[in-house]
Amino acid sequence: MKKLKKIARAFFHQFGIDIKRINPEIKNLSFDEILKLKVSKDPVILDVGANKGQTIKRFMDIFSNPTIHAFEPVEEAISKIKDNYSDNKNILINNYALGDKVDFKNFNISQRIENSTFHQFKSNSKWLQTRSKQYNVSVDNYVKKVQKIKIETIDNYVAKNKIEEIDILKMDTEGYEDKVLSGAINTLKQNKIKIVLTELAFDDVRDKYLSFSDIEKYLLPNNFRLVGIDLANNNLFSGLVFFAEVMYFNKNFYDI
C-alpha cells in the first residue's frame, strides 16, 4: 500500500499536483472569503496600484456596495478603469501614485503595464529575459517609456477628502509599498485603517525587494497583526517569481 501511494504521488507530481493528507482541524480560507466574513458589505477601500481595474472588479464581486478610491499613474491602464467605471459614483479614479511625500518622479512603464515600477529591473534576471522574449523586445527595451508622474500621500488624500475610516488599504505598487505606508503614518496612528492587504515581492526582478520588516515597521507599532499569507512560489530558487499577498488586521477593530 505504501509503495502504491508513493507511485501515485510521483505520478501526480509530474503534473504539478502535490498530494498531502488533509488535517480536519485546518480550514483553508481564501483572502476573498476572509474579507467577506470580516468586512461590512459597504466598505471604504483604497486601491493603490489599481492597474486596469482587476481589484476593483474583485472587491465589487465580494461586497455589495463598496466605495473604492482607485490610484493608478499609468494613463494607458487607468483609461481601462474609466471605460468600465466612470459612471459609477462609488468608484473615485485618481490618475497619480501614492508615496511618502508630494513629488514628481520618473516612473518606468514596462511592456506589460502591470510590472511598471519606480525601480529599475535587473538586466541579468531570468524573469526580465523571459518577459522580454514574450514581448519580442530586447532586455533594454522592456521598459518602453519613462514618464514623470505625480505622487501624493495617503495622509493628504484622507485629510482633503475627510475620510474617517478605511476598511481596506490594498497595495500593489511593485516594491513601493513601504513608501506608501510612510506617507500614511498619521492615518495609521489615528487608527483609521482596519485592514492592510498588500503584495510583497522577495525575488530579484528589480534592484530593490522588500522584506516583512520594511512594512511591519509601520504596521506593528500601530496595532496591526499579520493574519494571512498567500504565497506565489515558496522559495527564491525555483521559478521566475517569489512573492506573496499578505493580510494584516488592526487589533483595535478585530478580536485577534
**pLDDT at residue 256, rounded to an integer:** 83
Residue 66 lies in a domain: yes
Indicate if the pLDDT at residue 24 is higher than 90.
no
Residue 27 lies in a domain: no
- Quote the percentage of the chain above a pLDDT of 70: 90
Q: Could you tell me the residue range of the domain that residue 176 belongs to?
A: 41-104+151-250
Q: Strand (E) positions, the chain?
A: 44-48, 67-71, 91-94, 97-98, 103-110, 143-152, 166-171, 193-201, 224-232, 243-250
Total domains, the chain = 1
Residue 36 lies in a domain: no
pLDDT digits (tens, 9 = 90+) for 217-242: 999 999 999 999 999 889 999 889 99
128-151 CB burial, b ≥16 within 10 A, e <16? beebbeeeeeebeebbeeeeebeb
Indicate if the pLDDT at residue 23 is higher than 60.
no
Average pLDDT, the chain: 92
Residue 18 grid coordinates: 502535490
Least confidently predicted of 17-26, 29-38, 40-49, 179-188: 17-26
Residue 230 lies in a domain: yes
The mean pLDDT value for 14-43 works out to: 78
- Band (130; pLDDT cuts 50, 70, 90): very high
Residues contacting residue 218 through CB under 8 Å, at least 6 positions apart? 178, 181, 182, 184, 185, 188
Residue 23 lies in a domain: no
pTM score, two decimals? Answer: 0.89
- Band (1; pLDDT cuts 50, 70, 90): low
Residue with cell 475627510: 162
Residue 77 lies in a domain: yes
Give the CATH number, domain containing residue 93.
3.40.50.150
Residue 98 lies in a domain: yes
Nearest 5°: CA angle at 247, between 245 and 250? 160
Bridge pairing between strands 103-110 and 143-152: antiparallel
Residue 173 lies in a domain: yes
Residue 33 grid coordinates: 472569503
The mean pLDDT value for 85-111 works out to: 97
Nearest 5°: CA angle at 219, between 216 and 225? 90
Indicate if the pLDDT at residue 112 is higher than 90.
yes
**pLDDT at residue 34, rounded to an integer:** 96
Indicate if the pLDDT at residue 173 is higher than 90.
yes
